Amino acid sequence: MILITGGAGYIGAHVNKLLNNSGYETIVLDNLSKGHKSAVKWGDFVNADLSDSEKVREIFQDNDIEAVMHFAAFSSVAESVEEPEKYFKNNYENTLNLLKIMKEFRVRKFIFSSTAALYGIPKSIPINEDSELKPINPYGESKLMVENLLKDESDFGGLKYVSLRYFNAAGADLDCEIGEGHDPESHLIPLVLDAALGRRDSISIFGDDYSTPDGTCIRDYIHVNDLADAHLKALQYLEEPFNDSNIFNLGNGNGFSVKEVVDTCKKVTGIDFDVKIEERRPGDPDILIADSKKAEEILGWKPQVTELEDIVESAWNWHKKIHV
């Protein structure tokens, strides 16, 4: 049995589906503060908060947990700047609690949702795992604290972990059973699709004076199913007794500018909408592109949905399904 914390959230739900389709049994723990119960279509479900040690212990007591995949976290950079303590509590302290309980029950395999936000403003592109870790916001800082803790637990406490540093997760399940839905929404692609559906009057581009060819920020959009596949491969990696703890970047290796994303959304939807150029959003690096060669070499992972059009199309199919 695999415990998936945050399995009612965007990425966790896609991983839950893939694990079940690959023959694993899962149990999802989620407090539904951000996730959706309707996204937990596979495995068992427990509505619990990671700070509730008794309830978390019960899960370990009642189930034969082989490994934990830990998605439960807050993930809005902007919110983390306004309420840092919330991020350190939920993202760091609750992980500390979870790891403590795992140790009590001798569960030693852990897969962690990490982030490109650890790299802050990178010195060179593409970014590999050895690049300097210098988060520029509390969200990234809280995730870095967990990575440091994992390293110590692995070096001295017998933990075997894989930390997966996601770049920009995007798109939706190709069968359209689950997808992205944050409230409030802050991510580019769903916001642009909202503009296409007339759920917003326009889309704002935050800054067009960055050091990029068209002046807008470049990001590496990685399809959520490809992220899910990396989790499955990370689990299989940890199941091999001689493999050590490890850290992998997950991106598709292609960068797309905000303007390219907006134009692709117009093309895929066939709908025109207003685009406004606004001030820069604080804390946005010019360019983030992953070097994911390590995951390719060691996990045998290779992203499958790499065309921006295909990523946007999957997101669009889901968006229409839930909003039309």
Distance CA(220)–CA(227), nearest Å, equals 13
Distance CA(128)–CA(63), nearest Å, equals 37
- Classify 166 as helix, strand or coil: strand
Nearer to ligand UFG, 263 or 284 (CB): 284
Verify binding: residue 191, ligand UFG, rule CB under 6 A.
yes
Backbone angles phi, psi at 17, to 5 degrees: -60, -50
What's the min distance (Å) between Cβ of 57 and ligand UFG? 30
For ligand UFG, which residue of 206, 275, 293, 320 counts as binding (CB under 6 A)?
206
Binding part of the chain for ligand UFG, among 63-71, 104-112, 113-121, 246-254 by CB under 6 A, reads 113-121
Verify binding: residue 117, ligand UFG, rule CB under 6 A.
yes
Distance CA(50)–CA(56), nearest Å, equals 7
Verify binding: residue 258, ligand UFG, rule CB under 6 A.
yes
Verify binding: residue 290, ligand UFG, rule CB under 6 A.
no
Which residues, 6 or more positions from 79, have their beta carbon under 8 angstroms from its beta carbon? 86, 87, 139
Verify binding: residue 284, ligand UFG, rule CB under 6 A.
yes
Nearer to ligand UFG, 48 or 227 (CB): 227
Task: Please give the positions annotated as active site.
Answer: 139
Verify binding: residue 202, ligand UFG, rule CB under 6 A.
no
Residues in the chain, total: 324
Report whether 215 contacts 208 (CB < 8 A): yes
Verify binding: residue 254, ligand UFG, rule CB under 6 A.
no
Distance CA(199)–CA(271), nearest Å, equals 13
For strands 218-219 and 256-257, give the pairing: antiparallel
Nearer to ligand UFG, 89 or 281 (CB): 281
Distance CA(8)–CA(138), nearest Å, equals 24
Verify binding: residue 204, ligand UFG, rule CB under 6 A.
yes
Distance CA(309)–CA(189), nearest Å, equals 11
What's the min distance (Å) between Cβ of 32 and ligand UFG? 20
What's the min distance (Å) between Cβ of 269 and ligand UFG? 16
What DSSP string describes 174-187? Answer: TTSSS----SS---
State the binding string over 44-83 for ligand UFG (x if CB under 6 A, else -): -------------------------------x-x------
Nearer to ligand UFG, 154 or 163 (CB): 163
Distance CA(282)–CA(81), nearest Å, equals 10
Q: Which spans of this chain sit near ligand UFG (rule: CB under 6 A)?
A: 75, 77, 115-117, 139, 168, 186-188, 191, 203-206, 217, 219, 258, 281, 284, 288
